[in-house]
Amino acid sequence: MNGNGPKRALLAEDDDDMRALLARTLERGGYGVESANNGRDAWELCAHRDHELLVLDVRMPERSGLDVLMQLRREGVYVPVVLISGFADGVEDLSSDYGAVVLAKPFSVEALWDAVERAPDAAASAFRSCAEPLQSTG
Amino acid sequence: MKVFAKFLFWFLLASTLCFGATAYLSARREASDVEANVKNDITALGEGLREGLGAEWSLHGEPGVATFLNSVNAKRSDVDITWDRSASAGMSAAPSTTIDDSSGARTVRVVIPVSFPNGTGGTLVVARTVASQGALLKAELLDELWVMGALFAVSAMLAVGLGGALIGRRLDQVVEQARRIGEGDFSARLVVTSSDEIGALNRELNSMADRLVQTKSRLDAEATARVETLEQLRHLDRLRTVGTLASSLAHELGTPLNVLLIRGQALSAGDVAPEEVTETGVLIVSQVAKMSKMVRQLLDFSRQKQDRKSQVSLAEIARSAALLLSSLAKKNNVVIEVDVEEAVSVTGSPEQLEQALSNLMLNGMQAMTNGGELRLSVRSAMRSKKPGSPQLLVGIIEVRDQGPGIAADDLSRIFEPFYTTKPAGLGTGLGLSVASGIVEELGGWVHAESEIGRGSAFALHIPRAM
């Protein structure tokens, strides 16, 4: 945990208006926000491993948020993740295996903060429940 | 009647020849009989005369012989009797016959040697002319010919009359009925009055007509059912596309709705600073614009009338379908490349052509599970449907994907309705068969090629008016 400056969050969302809105909301909540508008950039950014929160849209160009989550977990990184899903994404079942909180659109600001609050516990319990690394369900 | 006339002609000809041969043979026999009879006659006469001569000589001597012969000659005008006193000695006693044609007529001569008791004698010659063989023959044949001619005429008249009634008219009726059936008129039936071959023919033609009527109505019913099924398939396919687009739409709407929710809540909670209100309003309106556009796209697609045909630009169809599926493509990591010639147009229903194309594009996208490029191209060319068919000027829209490709065995089956290798729930297996149906109705076809590992290309071929 980085003690200097605001907590760092990574935001990955391809819709410009939505990304701007979420970045603003997170900043207001005390996070320093790094943004990406596609899954590949998001992955590159989180390779630095210096984020305390990841907010990932499931459906993005290049690479899905779910894919990024799964690879992080495979590599043993259990950073708190909030996954933003759209209608009928089908990610709800998988997310508990991978220790992420799912937030379905459209969500209110309260719902967002509620998810952010639950994310660390979800990640921790997923970490505890795997003795060996998770297999890819690809 | 012609068949009967042919039959009759050959029959009569053969009969005539046989008859003629028989007539000739019997005429010849007649002629030789006549000659033999004459020979016997005059031989008998000669021998009788020889006896008479012997008696005359005994009674009256030489002069009596001459008188006797003269009186016989006078009585019998058909024979010519001559007495030759000189030739007697050394001749055999048997009569001999000669036939002589020299004087233009045929003469039968019997030469009878006569000897008197005193050693004298002579030669008695009895002669008679007969008609020549040739004349006899001719006479006989002529008779025969008259008979034959009469027979011929009577037979011919009878045949024409009978033949017309028994065969000609009835066959004409059969021909007439066959012609009617050939033209599709199954209403009439032939009257069956007898059990001969033509009666049997009539009966069979009638039952054939009955069966044809049944078959025709069954075929009509099947054709109607097939058209209805095609319509239903198209409708189902359309609904499926609407369903796919609707779910894609619902997905898409989430994001602008989210922006509206958060901004709206902020406004109503008073969390927006006065200087930001305008910007917030603008953002709200732009979300609404985004959503309206998405909804309108779907409404347009589902509302369209199906079957109005017009001149359609294939480039427009390609661009329109690419737009319709653009958000779905993005979500599947598919990039749609459009490469079109502009001036390619065909006659058809724009909505149906767009549906056919979007079916192909959906298949292509679903084949590329890891995303990739979906290439649309439009061009015009001369192509034939099968090797050996005539070439047509066609407009071609091709969809090329970078999926895993299709095995050669599957490639021949993919046009079957409901055939699919996609997992359950993902594909109905209808898309390609509906697309195929749409272009086939316009006289075109779908061409499929694929190679394992290299992807597939499906091309709609639609004839252009020359």
Q: How confident is the model at residue A53 (pLDDT cuts 50, 70, 90)?
A: very high
CA–CA min distance B245, chain A (Å): 13
pTM for the model stands at 0.48
| SS3 labels along chain B | CHHHHHHHHHHHHHHHHHHHHHHHHHHHHHHHHHHHHHHHHHHHHHHHHHHHHHHHHHHHHHHHHHHHHHHHHHHCCCCEEEEECCCCCCCCCCCEEEEECCCCCEEEEEEEEEECCCCCEEEEEEEEEECCHHHHHHHHHHHHHHHHHHHHHHHHHHHHHHHHHHHHHHHHHHHHHHHHHHCCCCCCCCCCCCCCHHHHHHHHHHHHHHHHHHHHHHHHHHHHHHHHHHHHHHHHHHHHHHHHHHHHHHHHHHHHHHHHHHHHHHHHCCCCCHHHHHHHHHHHHHHHHHHHHHHHHHHHHHHCCCCCCEEEEHHHHHHHHHHHCHHHHHHCCEEEEEEECCCCEEEECHHHHHHHHHHHHHHHHHHCCCCEEEEEEEEEEEECCCCCCCCEEEEEEEEECCCCCCCHHHHCCCCCCCCCCCCCCCCCCCHHHHHHHHHHHCCCEEEEEEECCCEEEEEEEEECCC
How far, CA to CA in Å, does B304 sit from each of B300, B350, B414? 6, 10, 28
Q: What percentage of chain A reaches a pLDDT higher than 70?
A: 87
Average pLDDT over residues B185-213: 87
How high is the pLDDT of residue A1?
47
Please tell me what DSSP assigns to residue A71.
H
pLDDT in tens, B399-454: 999 989 888 888 877 776 666 666 555 555 667 878 888 898 888 999 999 988 88
For residue B372, the distance in angstroms to the closest alpha carbon of chain A comes to: 10
**Domain B2-153 falls under CATH 3.40.50:** no
* CATH 3.30.1130.10 applies to domain A7-128: no
| Closest alpha carbon to B354 in B304, B393, B402 | B304
Residue B77 has pLDDT above 50, yes or no: yes
pLDDT of residue B296 exceeding 70: yes
| CA atoms in the 13 A half-sphere facing the CB of B114 | 27
Contact B259 A25 (CB under 8 A): no
Give me the residue spans of the domains in chain A.
7-128
pLDDT in tens, B36-50: 888 888 888 888 888
Cβ–Cβ < 8 Å for B341, B261: no
B330 interfaces chain A, CB cutoff of 8 Å: yes
Contacts of residue A89 in chain B, CB cutoff 8 Å?
251
Task: Name residue B115's beta-bridge partners.
Answer: B121
Q: Provide the pLDDT for residue B398.
A: 95
Pick from A17, A61, A87: CB nearest B250:
A87
The CATH number given to B309-466 is 3.30.565.10
Sign of CA dihedral B189, B194, B198, B204: positive
pLDDT higher than threshold 70 for residue B32: yes
pLDDT score for B100: 75
Taking the domains of chain B in order of start, what are their residue ranges? 2-153, 309-466
CA pair distance A91, B466, nearest whole angstrom: 54
Long-range (24+ apart) CB contacts under 8 A made by B282-289 are: B283/A17, B283/B259, B284/B259, B284/B260, B286/A17, B287/A17, B287/B256, B287/B257, B287/B259, B287/B260, B287/B263, B288/B256, B288/B260
The sheet with strand B96-100 has its strands ordered as B80-84, B121-130, B106-115, B96-100
- Confidence at B118, pLDDT banded by 50, 70, 90: confident
Instruction: Of B12-16, B88-92, B333-337, give the lowest mean pLDDT range.
Output: B88-92
The predicted structure's pLDDT at residue B317: 92
Q: What is the ipTM of this complex?
A: 0.83
Q: Report whether the peptide linkage leading into residue B113 is cis, meaning its omega lies within 30 degrees of zero.
A: no
pLDDT higher than 50, residue A138: no
Report chain A residues whose CB lies below 8 A from the CB of B266.
109
- Give the residue with greater pLDDT, A120 vs B247: A120
State pLDDT tens for residues B226-270: 878 877 887 788 778 778 778 778 878 889 999 999 999 999 999
Average pLDDT in chain B: 83
Low-confidence winner among B102-106, B235-239, B243-247, B361-365 (lowest mean pLDDT): B102-106
CB proximity B252 to A under 8 Å: yes
**pLDDT at position A29:** 92
Residue-wise pLDDT tens digits, B212-234: 999 989 998 998 888 788 778 87
Q: What is the mean pLDDT of residues B148-165?
A: 81
CA–CA min distance A132, chain B (Å): 28
Residues 37-56 of A with CB under 8 A from B: none
